[in-house]
Amino acid sequence: QQQVKQSPQSLIVQKGGISIINCAYENTAFDYFPWYQQFPGKGPALLIAIRPDVSEKKEGRFTISFNKSAKQFSLHIMDSQPGDSATYFCAASYGQNFVFGPGTRLSVLP
Amino acid sequence: DGGITQSPKYLFRKEGQNVTLSCEQNLNHDAMYWYRQDPGQGLRLIYYSQIVNDFQKGDIAEGYSVSREKKESFPLTVTSAQKNPTAFYLCASSMPRYTDTQYFGPGTRLTVL
Give residue B41's pLDDT. 79
Residue that wins the pLDDT comparison between B98 and B83: B83
Dihedral (CA of B25, B27, B28, B30) sign: negative
Within 10 Å of residue A53's Cβ, how many Cβ atoms?
8
Write down how long chain B is: 113
Search chain A and give the residue with CA nearest B59. Answer: A99
Residues of B within 8 A of A102 (CB-CB) are: 40-42
**pLDDT tens digits, one per residue of B21-41:** 999 999 999 999 999 999 877
Percentage of chain A with pLDDT > 70?
99
> Average pLDDT over chain A, rounded to whole?
94
State how far residue A67 is from chain B, nearest Cα, in angstroms: 20
Give residue B99's pLDDT. 75
Q: Which amino acid is at B55?
A: F
Q: What is the mean pLDDT of residues B100-105?
A: 90
> Average pLDDT over chain B, rounded to whole?
92
Query: Which of B31, B45, B107 minimises the CB distance to A43?
Result: B107
Number of H helices, E strands in chain A: 0, 11
Search chain B and give the residue with CA nearest A101. Answer: B42
Per-residue pLDDT at A95 exceeds 90: no
- A100 at interface of B, judged by CB pairs closer than 8 A: yes
Per-residue pLDDT at B1 exceeds 60: no
Distance CA A10, CA A6 (A): 10
Q: What is the mean pLDDT of residues A82-94?
A: 95
Residues of A within 8 A of B4 (CB-CB) are: 43
What secondary structure does DSSP assign to B56-103, as a single string?
EE-TT-TTEEE--SBTTB--EEE-TT-S---EEEEEEEE-TTT----E
Give residue B40's pLDDT. 75
Give residue A84's pLDDT. 98
Give residue A74's pLDDT. 98
**pLDDT tens digits, one per residue of B49-71:** 999 999 999 999 999 999 999 99
Per-residue pLDDT at B2 exceeds 70: no
Give the Å distances, CA to CA, from A27 to A3, A7, A52, A72, A93.
8, 18, 13, 11, 9
Give residue B108's pLDDT. 97
Give residue B11's pLDDT. 94
Per-residue pLDDT at B113 exceeds 90: no
Distance CA B64, CA B71 (A): 20
Lowest mean pLDDT among A14-23, A92-101, B101-110: A92-101
Distance CA B8, CA A109 (A): 33
Closest Cα to residue B88, out of B29, B21, B16, B26?
Answer: B21
Give residue A1's pLDDT. 61
